[in-house]
Chain A
Amino acid sequence: MKQRMTEENEQKTASSDAFRDALISCDEEAAQRILSDFTRQNTPLEFVETVIVPALDDIGMGWANQDYSLSQVYISGRICEELVDSVLAKNTGFRNPGPRMAIVVLNDYHGLGKQIVYSVLRGAGYDILDYGRMETGDLVRRVVEDRLELLFISVLMIASAMEVKEVIHRLRSEQCNTRIAVGGAPFRLDAQLWKDVGADAAGKSASDALPIVQMAAEGRL
C-alpha cells in the first residue's frame, strides 16, 4: 500500500516536471498529451493540484531566481488557462474553491503582469474577476459592490504603486476589509514598499498568487 502510494507520488512529480518542461518550451502539444495521459487514471482536479500548480510554482520561482523569463511565465499561464478551460467544458464542478476575488491594473497602462497572474490563477482552477484597468474611485466602488474577499493589484509605475495606499485608505473608510495583495516591478525592486502602502501581501512572481489565495481562503492574510 505504502509502496503503491510512493509510486503514485513519484509518477505525479514526474508528470509535473515533464509538464513544466513542456510549458517552458511553449510545447502545447506535449502539455496536452501529459494532461490526457494523467486524467486517464486521475481526476482533472488532481491534475490541477498535483501537476499544474507545482509546475507554475516552479516557473514563478524560476523567474524570481532569473532562471526563466517573463515571456515563459506568460506563455505557461496561457497554456494552463486554455487546458483548464478545455477540461472545464467537459467536467463541470471541478473548479478550485477559493475566496471571492478580482484582479486589477491600477492607474497605469501596463497589463501584462495582471494577465499573467490572471492566467496562473485560472490555470490553477480558480475563478477570478478581471477588472481590467481602473482608477481609485471606480475601483473602490466596485470592490465594495462585489464584496470581494481578496483583490490583486498590479502596477508598473511607482506613482501607481503609491496610489495603493489611497485605495486601501478609502476601502477601510467604507468599512471594507477586502485583503489587498500587490505585485509588479516597484514592489519587486523595493522589497519594503508593499508594507509602506499598507498591503496585506506582495508577490514577487505570478506563482506567489497561489499561496496568497490559499492564505486568504484560510483567513490567514
Chain B
Amino acid sequence: MSLQTDRQYTMTPMERMLCAMDHKEPDRVPFFLLLTTHGAREMKMPIRDYFSNGENVAEAQLRMQEKYRHDCLFAFFHAPMEIAAWGGDVVYFDNGPPNSGRPFIDKPAAQIPRLKPPGIEGAPGLGEVLKTTRILAEKAAGDIPVMGVVISPFSVPIMQMGFSTYIELLYREPSLFWEMMEINETFCADWANAQIAEGATAICYFDPVASPTIIPRKLYLETGHIVAGRTIARINGPTATHLASGAALEVADDIAQTGTAGIGVSADDNLEALKQACKGKLTIIGNLNGLEMIRWSRGDAIFAVRKAIAEAAPGGGFILADNHGEIPWHVPETVLSAVSEAVHRHGGYPLI
C-alpha cells in the first residue's frame, strides 16, 4: 500500500494521455476532471462574471489542475456559448451551468433555408473561449493537454430549435434536416479549427443525440453517423466523441468508424463490455456518476475510482473522467480531492 501511496509518476500529463490513447499502459491511469462552473468558485466570482472573461477561466483551470493534479486543462465554458454565436439567448444561473434560452428556430421550414453559419471572429463569447485556449496552451507548453469542445452539428439543433421540434424534423422532414446539417457542419468545423489554431490539443465532439438513449441506432446510422464522419474529417486535429451521459455500447463500433479517437461513456454503460468493444479502436473516457458524486463520501470516491480502473484501465485505452463531460456545480471539493487521491494511490501501472 505504501509503495502505491508514495509512488512518483514521471510522465507529463500529455505523455500519459498520448500513451493511453495509443492503447498502451502509461505510468498511471490518466484522469480528466472536466470542471466548468467550479472555476467560478475557485475565483470567488458569480458564474456569469466568471465566464465573461477568458482570463478568469484560464486562471481557474490552471489553479484547479495544480490543486487536483489531474491530466488536462478544459477550455470549455458552456454549451449555450455556441447558441449565442447563432444569435440565441444564454440564461445564467447562480448555482449551475447556463442554459440556452428560447430556441431561435420555431418555424424550421421558413427559417432553415435562410440560416447562415455565424463567423467565428466577432461572435459573442467565442473570442473569450479562444483567449482561454491561447493562454492555457502557452502555460501548458505542451506538457498538459488543452481540451477544446464543439457541440456536434447533429446535436446542436436541440438548442437551436428545441428537442421536440428537432425530433419531428429528424423523423418527418429529411430534406430540411440535411439542409440544416450542411450549415451546422460548416460552423462546427470552423469553430473546432479556430480552437486548434489557438493551441487546443484535441476537440471533444459532444454528440448526445448519437446515443441510443436518444435515438435508435438505425436512425443514427442514416443521419448523425454520416454527419459525424463528414465533420470530423474537416477538423484539423484529433477528436473524442462524447455522448454526455447517453449509453454508448450499441454504437461504439459505429462511432469508431467516424474517425474519432475516444468515446465518452455513460455511468449506465458496462465498462468491461465497452472495453471489449473499443479495444484498439477507441479510448474510453468515463464513467464516474457525476450526480452521485454530489453525495459521495471519501470512501465512495475511492471505491468508484478503483472499480472503474479495474474494469477499463488494463492495457491502456482508458481515461478516467465523469460520465457527462462536465462535473456538476454541487460536487464538493472534498470529493474531487478524494477522486484525485484515489487515482494517484491506486491508478499506477502495472495495476494491482
Using a CB–CB distance below 8 Å, which chain A residues touch chain B?
26, 66, 68-72, 74-75, 78, 107-112, 115, 157-160, 162, 185-186, 189-190, 192-193
Nearest CB of A to B214, in Å = 5
Chain B residues within an 8 Å CB radius of A68: 216
Indicate if the CB atoms of A193 and B162 lie closer than 8 Å.
Answer: no
Nearest CB of A to B255, in Å = 16
Q: Roughly how many angstroms separate A81 CA and B100 CA in the complex, as a whole number?
A: 28
Q: List 20 A-B contacts (CB under 8 A).
A: A66-B212, A66-B247, A66-B268, A69-B215, A70-B214, A74-B164, A78-B168, A109-B91, A111-B164, A112-B163, A112-B164, A158-B294, A158-B328, A158-B330, A159-B93, A159-B95, A186-B291, A189-B245, A189-B267, A190-B295
Minimum-distance CB pairs A-B, first 5: A112-B163, A159-B96, A109-B99, A190-B291, A71-B215
Contacts of B72-86 to chain A: CB distance below 8 A: none
Chain A residues within an 8 Å CB radius of B328: 158
Q: Roughly how many angstroms separate A60 CA and B97 CA in the complex, as a whole number?
A: 29
Name the CB-closest residue of B to A186: B291
Nearest CB of B to A219, in Å = 32
The number of chain B residues with a CB under 8 A from chain A is 35
Name the CB-closest residue of B to A159: B96
Chain A residues within an 8 Å CB radius of B96: 157-160
Indicate if the CB atoms of A71 and B216 lie closer than 8 Å.
Answer: yes
Q: Is the interface of A mostly helix, strand, loop or mixed?
A: helix
Return the CB mask of B202-234 against A: 1 if under 8 Å, else 0: 000000000011111001000000000000000
Chain A residues within an 8 Å CB radius of B291: 158, 185-186, 189-190, 193
The answer to the question of B18 belonging to the interface, with a C-beta cut-off of 8 Å to chain A, is: no
Indicate if the CB atoms of A109 and B245 lie closer than 8 Å.
Answer: no
Indicate if the CB atoms of B101 and A69 lie closer than 8 Å.
Answer: no
Name the CB-closest residue of A to B95: A159
Q: Roughly how many angstroms separate A26 CA and B171 CA in the complex, as a whole number?
A: 8
Return the CB mask of B237-260 against A: 1 if under 8 Å, else 0: 000000001010010000000000
Chain A residues within an 8 Å CB radius of B247: 66
